[in-house]
Structure 1
């Protein structure tokens, strides 16, 4: 695997590929023993970052990761997890409030079977909670030794800057990272978020390098509609016959042809592209099987030439995104009509 990279300005070194654990548990691979083997294979291959979240299969993913790190493997892993989404049926078990964070971190520590989390991330912004309260609670956790660093995920450029400003004004431990969707088909974060990460020295974990499956090679013009659990989660987003997906499908087709010309599997082209941006510290892969993992690992040493990168820019212009939902979260000011209209 290619040389490890700096994780922002933390001094931590991370592998160019990170193991995402979202597919371990009921949501993906429910076989704990098999999932643990996949984790071990990834670590043996040189991956040192594992990223999970408390909502992935409602804590089951964290439990699997915790089991996999028993027996002396924990110390060599940069372990990241996230809070925010609702865990269980209780409506109060979610969000970014101090009250929930101090409960959520204890639950994650227990499931992960560890005494500390290396990177604790706010999975999404929480409009109902003052950002200053969230950062104050995370600062306390750092000083208590329960987490080493904290960061954000899918936060807007304004929120990223606000987090840095609040931390400086209050003398708090600042957020050191941002997790973003980034791929050949989802390039909107090139506009502001990735440049901001470079400006503030933030580590970047890029997820969705295969654009939620659109770059897996399964979505091709004239092919049969692939089946996926995502179809039910977001109806229409993955329908290859839908008019709104025509441009995305055409781009995926053109990128597949480019990969073939370059002598690369489309998946390798996609992973190499996401890893190529200078702001990206590590690209998250989410294997469900050993076969998936081996395919992803094959991209770790792929280098893209300037010519190929230029061809990519012609197919999908820098900063472009085909669907707002692909950016990870629709801003409340856009999603909520009441916030865009004067009351009569």
Structure 2
């Protein structure tokens, strides 16, 4: 297992981070089995665990807390807050305001059964809250000893730059990390996000290296796919081969499988190794649901891709190209909020 420094914090983390999204009702409801998976990952050298309060409505954090009993000092623990955990219509229980983040951190500390969080991340941008308010609140949480460092998740380049500017001019702590989507099929962050994070000295924790299951090796062009179960059931439009926009993904998939076969590795191994190759990436988050999946992911820890292999991947999916749909929640309000595009709605 390789280790890298996290965003200038001096904290060393494994290049592979254990994602806990699939522990709990949304993935593996068996707490004992989930704990065994976490322990196995730690025993294999992973010292970085990432979860979020919204994963299985807090259940993931509870499982992680149980698993880290007696091992907390050896683990770099990351979690996130932003989304509502109950009725989405309940006011002031969501977003990046001081009011909500202060409560969200306390609730996460309780579920994780720990005195501190090593890395606390705001899960998504919140353009209804001044970024100064968010940074001020997070800086105070560091001063209070509740969190050690803070970062952001799925922030676009312009929001990262604005946050950095506010931190410098107002004297607040700054985002030490960003957590974006990155895979062989979703390379859009190579255009500006990764270069900016590298320039600002931010750590980058990428998620969905298997493109939400598309690069799991279980999907093939021309073969039947069950759109009613697993990842496909959560977002059928991402996998449905009858949708014209998906044709390019399936074509690229077959070529990437050929690259993996020529190397004598599995497609998931190739996918994880590709992500960790980028110099701006600190750690890749992999979220197994079963022990079998974890075992497969761990095999990629020592896989290094040579220039010839990377050149082949570049020809299949050119740098900076997104063949996979963007994460809807990360889209800016200028695209998702009709009132920001049409005066008729804005004047109501």
Pairwise TM-score range, normalised by the shorter structure: over 0.9
> Is residue 238–residue 325 contact of structure 2 (8 Å, CA) maintained in 1?
no
Q: In the alignment, which residue of structure 2 is the partner of 1:51?
A: 50
Q: In the alignment, which residue of structure 1 is the partner of 2:221?
A: 221
Tell me, what secondary structure is at the counterpart of 1:299? helix
Provide the rounded CA distance (Å) in 1 between the counterparts of 2:80 and 2:36: 23
Q: CA deviation digits over 1:95-147, x for unaligned, max 9?
A: 11111011110000000000000000000001111111111100000000000
Q: In the alignment, which residue of structure 1 is the partner of 2:242?
A: 241
Q: In the alignment, which residue of structure 2 is the partner of 1:174?
A: 174
Q: In the alignment, which residue of structure 1 is the partner of 2:26?
A: 27
> Is residue 186–residue 326 contact of structure 1 (8 Å, CA) maintained in 2?
no
> Is residue 14–residue 46 contact of structure 2 (8 Å, CA) maintained in 1?
yes
Tell me, what secondary structure is at the counterpart of 1:42? helix
Runs of 4+ in 1 over 6 A off after TM superposition: none
Provide the rounded CA distance (Å) in 2 between the counterparts of 1:219 and 1:129: 41
Q: In the alignment, which residue of structure 2 is the partner of 1:325?
A: 326
| Structure 1 segments unaligned to the other structure (5+ residues) | none
Provide the rounded CA distance (Å) in 1 between the counterparts of 2:264 and 2:10: 36
Structure 1 residue 237 displacement after superposition: 1.9
TM-score by length of 1: 0.96
Tell me, what secondary structure is at the counterpart of 2:237? coil
| Structure 2 segments unaligned to the other structure (5+ residues) | none
Figure out how many residues of one structure are paired with residues of the other and give that number.
Answer: 342
Task: Report 1:149-188 matches (<5 A).
Answer: 149-188=149-188
Structure 1 residue 240 displacement after superposition: 2.4
> Is residue 26–residue 60 contact of structure 1 (8 Å, CA) maintained in 2?
yes
Q: In the alignment, which residue of structure 1 is the partner of 2:104?
A: 104
Tell me, what secondary structure is at the counterpart of 1:43? helix
Structure 1 residue 323 displacement after superposition: 4.0
Cα RMSD (Å) of the superposition? 1.4
Q: CA deviation digits over 1:19-47, x for unaligned, max 9?
A: 00000000000000000010000000000
> Is residue 181–residue 327 contact of structure 1 (8 Å, CA) maintained in 2?
no
Q: CA deviation digits over 1:292-326, x for unaligned, max 9?
A: 00000000000101000000000000000024424
Q: In the alignment, which residue of structure 2 is the partner of 1:95?
A: 95
Tell me, what secondary structure is at the counterpart of 1:81? strand
Structure 1 residue 50 displacement after superposition: 0.3
Tell me, what secondary structure is at the counterpart of 2:279? coil
Q: Which deviates further from its counterpart, 85-94 or 210-219?
A: 85-94
> Is residue 205–residue 285 contact of structure 2 (8 Å, CA) maintained in 1?
yes
